[in-house]
Structure 1
Amino acid sequence: MKKPFSPFGELGLIEQIRRDFATTGSAVKLGIGDDCAILRPPSGCEVLVTTDFTLEGRHFRRDSHPPESVGHRCLARGLSDLAAMGATPLAAFLSLALPSTMLAEAAGRAWTTRFFNGLRALAELHAVPLAGGDTSESPGGKQALILADIVLIGSAPKGKALRRSGAFPGDALYVTGQLGGAAAELATLLGRRKRIINLKTTDDHPHLFPEPRLDVGEALLRRGLATACLDISDGLSTDLAHLCRASGVNAEIEQEALPIHPLAGKLDAQAALHAALHGGEDYELLFTAPSSVTMPSSLAGVPLTRIGTLKARRTAQPLMTLLAPDGSRTELKPGGWEHFSKPTKTEKKTPR
């Protein structure tokens, strides 16, 4: 026997999402309401798909992260993946599992509304329609957690999408924006005794409200500036290692060239360097370009900084090297985030 419609139940939630997320004038021919969505990819383009989990206790904490931030970050993770390949977003799909009490209690309904407010604000900024998804009750009773999975569909001209494997020895290495801010803000957030109530989203919040570099990625692709690209989600050191292995090159980073975020700059020098190299979740772009290319100082209003050079792969040499201000060189090992890795004694379980 079917349950009657309730404005506070699953059907009510879906109806509210349908009303709040318009799909007119987009690549979505048919959106929320049928068994499948129907998309219209642009002519001459390939379709790109990415998916990302947002898990309570792993990527956010309900007692410290504002709901708007959780919704924003849920979508930003997928948008950053599209940006890394120079893609244009077409549609988003969200699967959301909530504890049974969330829609039954006023506080839970308020949290859910604010979550969607954060997600919708970023979606509207980048004209990304929410074309469908799924809702469910998460298991665990009173201990149940919030689980979200976002799927992003994008498009790029056939054969032109930026990849990790296109770099060459001699290419220059660049990053967008600044590094270490997300890790520094997260440390401050977790150190607070009180939850953030009123947050000015117009301020710079690299962890709570990261800015996916979609316009930069599209410009790099359109102008043919980059040979390889990926986003810095797991930390510069870890993501650079991915690029080096995919392209078959070694890399040297110039420590003095690293653009340190002001929040990380408030830390001592060693902690700031660690945040910039290993902190993760900056969602900036890490890309390569031929040294002969004259790179602009910024794209789409975002600063670009040359931070190093790629070299020919030599098995006897470290995959990555850090060049210190005094001219000494040390091996740079991947020190960012990796799921399923065994934490060291000094590591703390924090949202990623």
Structure 2
Amino acid sequence: MRELALIEQIRRDFGSAGSRAVALGIGDDCAILRPPAGTEVLVTTDFTLEGRHFRRDLHSPESVGHRCLARGLSDLAAMGATPMTAFLSLALPADLVTTAKGRGWIARFFRGLRSLAGRHDITLAGGDTAQSPADAILADIVLLGTAPRGRALRRSGAKPGDALYVTGALGGAAAELSSMLAHNVNPAKGSKAGEHPQTFPEPRVGVGQALLRRKLATACIDISDGISTDLAHLCRSSGVTAELEQAAIPLHPLASKLSPAAALSAALHGGEDYELLFAAPASVRMPRQLSGVPITRIGQFRHRQATRPLITLLEPDGSRATLEPQGWEHFSGR
């Protein structure tokens, strides 16, 4: 197999026939898209880098493909978008294309990506392939979604007095990764949703769409880098501060197995949970669930003041502590 054969295999696996969003997909110089009338197109792009975002000895090929797509889907979810289509640029070591074992890895990678794509009615409309200059896999995925014109959720809409909510449970991805690294284990996909938040995270696309459709949220962001970091982004964009109630933070069962300090760190700073963090007016009666996902109130927003920390952590004993962003940031050395 060489590059053209690889592209042809991808084209067969991700044929765009029948897709209302894609008029012309893989096989020409450009794709042709047709977004629904009255909508705007939202675009997000994410790298998946071997050694940084996954390890071949720990993450299965299906997990890598799933996570590659989930990263972009979570961004679309944070803005309430409906997924439209995807483009994938893939740089592979030569042995993955020229050996039977390598081709098996590629097939399983696309199996994981295709499985998640199918659940969200996404087709792969194009991309690029290249030989990696090193023995590492690099994937760059571009996702396009649509939202009603002028109504996409943003980070900048939170107001003083708004309540702070989070979807699902936190700390599971970091806890699972810690166990994988400690025991050098490559877990299989679980049979229950949320069983493996590190290897098979579930982007909250349905929740984001419900927040937009029902006009429940004033601002929203996905928790890909850790709540301490992503909440800080939302506060800066909205010009507010936040008070976060430690006792209200919903812990994932995997995080609950850690020591209390480690569980709290995983929930606040671990990242890769791909849950949604959002603001809503205090007067809104928030459902306990949206699209089958639990919703938890974990704090509130306050006026921005020079003497007030960007994020204050309200501890169970009533004390207050400044919560500094300690989640993931490239080039930070963390």
1:153-177: CA deviation from partner (whole Å, max 9, x where unpaired): 0100010000000000000000000
The 8 Å contact of residues 15 and 26 in structure 2, kept in 1 or not, is answered as no
1:201 Cα offset (Å): 5.4
- Indicate whether 1:32 and 2:26 are aligned: yes
Aligned partner of residue 173 in structure 1, secondary structure: strand
CA shift, 1:199, in A, is 3.7
The aligned length equals 332
Q: Which residue of 2 aligns with 1:240?
A: 231
Tell me: CA distance 1:77–1:201, structure 2 relative to 1, closer, same or farther (3 Å): farther
SS of the residue aligned with 1:102?
Answer: helix
Superposed CA offset, 1:266-305 (max 9, x none): 0010100010000100000000000000000000000000
Report 1:1-352 matches (<5 A). Answer: 8-26=1-19, 27-140=21-134, 144-196=135-187, 198-200=188-190, 202=192, 204-343=195-334
Structure 2: how far apart are the matches of 1:195 and 1:124? 24
8 Å Cα contact 2:189-2:200 kept in structure 1: no
**Which runs of 5 or more residues in structure 2 are unaligned?**
none
Deviation for aligned residue 1:101:
1.0
CA contact (8 A) 1:201 1:209 kept: no
Cα distance, 1:193 vs structure 2: 3.4
C-alpha RMSD over aligned residues: 1.0
- Give the CA deviation at 1:192: 2.0
| Deviations 1:193-218 (CA, angstroms, capped at 9, x unpaired) | 3544x544545110100001000000
Partner of 1:5: none
- Aligned partners of 2:280 and 2:288: how far apart in 1? 14
The 1:185–1:330 alpha-carbon spacing in structure 2 relative to 1, beyond 3 Å, is: same
Residues 42, 147 of structure 2: 8 Å contact kept: yes
Normalised by the size of structure 1, how large is the TM-score? 0.93
Whichever residue aligns with residue 197 of structure 2, its letter is P
Q: Secondary structure at the match of 1:168?
A: coil
Partner secondary structure for residue 103 of structure 1: helix
Q: Residues 121, 333 of structure 1: CA spacing in aligned structure 2 closer, same or farther, 3 A cutoff?
A: same
1:21: Cα distance to partner? 1.1
**Counterpart amino acid of residue 84 in structure 1:** A
Find the counterpart in structure 2 of residue 348 from structure 1: none
CA contact (8 A) 1:32 1:132 kept: yes
Using the alignment, how far apart are the partners of 2:296 and 2:186 within structure 1?
35
